[in-house]
Amino acid sequence: MYVTPEQIVANGKAGVEVMLALANSQFAVYEKFAALNFNATKTAFEDGMNHTRALLNAKDVQEVVNLNVAAAQPSLDRAIAYSRSVYELATQQQAEATRLLESQAGEYNKTVVGFLDKFAKNAPAGSDVAVAAVKSALAAANSAYDSFTKVAKQATEIAEANMAAAVTAVGKKKAA
């Protein structure tokens, strides 16, 4: 009927482990994102300097126009590649966080149900209504969480489809 200190410590440790795993996952993504931003900034700076040098060496207005037109497409391609990389990092992190939190929620639900069952076995007469109400509330919360998770997954799939369609459309324009 009672929760032992060992059970409390075990649950606390499990929660801390999940939070540490989530934090490590976040830091790994931040590191990748920082490297992506550094490389994009470095490339943009180098391209800008090269473009400026080329413009300074231009002989006439037509050459300046041609240089600007020639620089536009590679810049657009790099911007699309950058946004795709950012999107992929965000998607990977969201999937990892969802996996960790879903596993933690499952463990939490098992623990709560186990505690309720222990309590129900040793509870005074008449408390079965309260235990049933708590179990019903827990089931409703799980159902709501499942619905939310399904909606979030659908939204992610739609976003992925839109990103793929945008990349395809840009690729077709580029080819044309």
DSSP code string of 44-77 = HHHHHHHHHHHHHT--SHHHHHHHHHHHHHHHHH
pLDDT number for residue 28: 92
pLDDT tens by residue, the chain, 176 residues: 466 788 778 878 887 888 898 899 899 999 999 999 999 999 999 999 999 999 999 999 999 999 999 998 899 899 989 998 998 898 888 888 888 877 777 777 777 777 777 777 776 777 777 777 777 887 787 777 777 777 777 777 787 777 777 767 766 666 56
- The one-letter code for the residue type at 110 is K
pLDDT number for residue 121: 75
CB-CB contact of 18 with 135 (8 Å): no
Q: 107 by DSSP, 3-state: which?
A: helix
Token code pair at residue 29: 């993504």
Token code pair at residue 45: 């700076």
pLDDT number for residue 125: 73
CA distance 73 to 174: 8
CA distance 39 to 115: 52
Q: Which of 81, 110, 97, 88 is nearest to 7 (CA)?
A: 110
CA distance 14 to 19: 9
- This prediction has a pTM of 0.64
Each domain of the chain, given as residue ranges in start order, spans: 5-175
DSSP letter at 176?
-
